[in-house]
């Protein structure tokens, strides 16, 4: 079900997910996310493509608005319903005090009961 | 605002060039998306100096090159299943072997040259000329191959070109053995064997 499980939660990915999860209903365009995450475009867009492929993030085109002053339409990204669930769980895992990060899913960290299995 | 026009055009041109890597049917949409961000960056008033905004816009469009490289490596769009982990498993042993073979060939070449020089303290000119010509031709063919390949492995194209140029026969040999994709195409077939 959770295909993000195949992926290590790396620093940049964590930052993107944090920004997206902070307001799951909000849509972000590329530069907006770049500013919020302080990631360069060469890191952000591949990640968005990956997340889109995994069904975590959905994209849609903005409609051309007459009041935009001739600005070209942008593409907006937001979390899908599954994305919200997966991302918030991943982030909770990542910030867990056991420091287990992804390993917690593989084997219980020292000092825990291993109830997750 | 008029000062930002050339920057915008350069940035758009960079994005357009990067987008050429993508399949034709995806090119237009990606270009539309990425070029739409350029004016947003150039008009971002949170960055006060116009100069810095210009730098930012150029850095942005340079990053798009990395993005398209990634997309054509993994195949963009929804068609392809996730292949994130391939890279970690796929090429390791093959590459080490190829590197060893490449270095071995290179050593043979060096040994041949050294023994030739030992055998003839006053070496006749023509083998030298022939050897140098062959080495130069081989290197030139490697450079042409790098330029024409859709994609090379492990290092960017310019780094392979530099290696070929600096280590005259050796760099080319190592490139052929390690950096070259078979028939210049991305090596994807083995991922099908993975569970």
B34 touches A: beta carbon within 8 Å: yes
Winning range, highest mean pLDDT, from A74-83, A108-117, B68-77, B105-114: A74-83
Q: B168 is written with which tokens? A: 């005259």
pLDDT of residue A77: 92
What's the pLDDT tens digit per position in A33-63?
998 888 888 889 998 998 888 888 999 988 8
Q: Cβ contact (<8 Å) for A46 and B66? A: yes
Using DSSP, state whether B60 is helix, strand or coil: helix
Nearest CA in chain A to B63: A42
Of residues A97, A116, A96, the one with CA closest to residue A105: A116
pLDDT of residue B182: 62
pLDDT of residue B172: 86
Residues of chain B with pLDDT under 70: 1-4, 75-95, 123, 182-195
B 49-108 near A (Cβ less than 8 A): 59-67, 70-71, 74, 76-78, 80, 82, 84-85
A73 touches B: beta carbon within 8 Å: yes
List CB contacts (< 8 A) between A2 and chain B: none
pLDDT of residue B1: 46
B23 touches A: beta carbon within 8 Å: no
Nearest CA in chain B to A51: B82
Q: What is the layout of strands, in order, in the sheet containing A28-29?
A: A28-29, A75-79, A57-61
Does ipTM surpass 0.90 in this model?
Answer: no
pLDDT of residue B165: 86
A75 touches B: beta carbon within 8 Å: yes
Using DSSP, state whether A102 is helix, strand or coil: coil
List CB contacts (< 8 A) between B67 and chain A: 41-42, 45-46, 49
* CA A79 to centroid of chain Cα atoms: 7
Q: What is the pTM of this model?
A: 0.53
Closest chain B C-alpha to A66 CA, distance in angstroms: 16
- Indicate the average pLDDT of chain A: 76
What's the pLDDT tens digit per position in A84-95?
888 888 888 877
Using DSSP, state whether B15 is helix, strand or coil: helix
State how far the alpha carbon of A29 is from the alpha carbons of A61, A97, B19, B111, B170, in Å.
10, 33, 19, 59, 47
A 82-101 near B (Cβ less than 8 A): none
Buried b / exposed e over A41-59, threshold 16 CB at 10 Å, is bbbbbbbbbbbbbbbbbbb
Angle subtended at Cα A69 by Cα A65 and Cα A70, rounded to the nearest 5 degrees: 80
- Confidence tier at A96 by pLDDT (50, 70, 90): low
Task: Confirm if A41 and B64 have CB atoms less than 8 A apart.
Answer: yes
List CB contacts (< 8 A) between A1 and chain B: none
B41 touches A: beta carbon within 8 Å: yes
Percentage of chain A with pLDDT > 70?
A: 69
Q: Which residue has the tokens 């993030």?
A: A57
Show the 3-state SS of A31-82: HHHHHHHCCCHHHHHHHHHHHHHCCCEEEEECCCCHHHCCCCCCEEEEECHH
- Confidence tier at A4 by pLDDT (50, 70, 90): low
CA distance B5 to A69: 16
Q: Give DSSP secondary structure letters for B118-136.
A: HH-SS--HHHHHHHHHHHH
Task: Confirm if A27 and A77 have CB atoms less than 8 A apart.
Answer: yes
User: Phi/psi zone of residue A79: left (φ > 0), alpha (ψ -120 to 50 degrees), beta?
Assistant: beta
């Amino acid at each position: 079900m959770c295909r993000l499980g195949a992926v290590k939660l790396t620093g940049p990915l964590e930052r993107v997910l944090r920004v997206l999860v902070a307001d799951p209903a909000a849509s972000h365009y590329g530069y907006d996310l770049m500013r919020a995450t302080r990631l360069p475009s060469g890191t952000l867009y591949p990640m968005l493509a990956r997340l889109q492929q995994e069904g975590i993030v959905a994209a849609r085109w903005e409609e051309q608005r007459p009041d935009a002053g001739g600005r070209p339409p942008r593409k907006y990204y937001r979390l899908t319903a599954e994305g919200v669930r997966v991302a918030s769980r991943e982030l909770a895992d990542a910030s867990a005090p056991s420091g287990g990060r992804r390993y917690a899913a593989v084997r219980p960290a020292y000092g825990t009961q291993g109830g997750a299995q | 605002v008029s000062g930002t026009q050339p920057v915008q055009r350069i940035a758009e041109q960079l994005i357009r060039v990067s987008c050429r890597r993508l399949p034709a049917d995806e090119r237009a949409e990606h270009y539309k998306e990425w070029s739409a961000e350029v004016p947003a960056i150039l008009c971002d008033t949170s960055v006060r100096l116009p100069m810095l905004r210009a730098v930012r816009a150029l850095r942005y469009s340079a990053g798009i090159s990395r993005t398209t490289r990634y997309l054509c490596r993994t195949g963009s769009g929804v068609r392809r299943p996730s292949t994130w982990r391939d890279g970690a498993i796929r090429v390791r042993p093959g590459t080490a072997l190829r590197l060893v073979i490449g270095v071995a060939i290179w050593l043979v070449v060096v040994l041949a040259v050294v023994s030739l020089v030992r055998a003839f303290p006053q070496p006749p000119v023509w083998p030298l000329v022939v050897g140098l010509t062959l080495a130069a031709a081989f290197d030139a063919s490697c450079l042409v191959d790098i330029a024409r390949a859709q994609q090379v492995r492990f290092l960017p194209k310019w780094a392979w070109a530099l290696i070929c140029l600096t280590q005259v026969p050796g760099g080319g040999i190592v490139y052929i053995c390690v950096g070259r994709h078979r028939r210049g195409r991305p090596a994807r077939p083995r991922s099908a064997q993975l569970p």
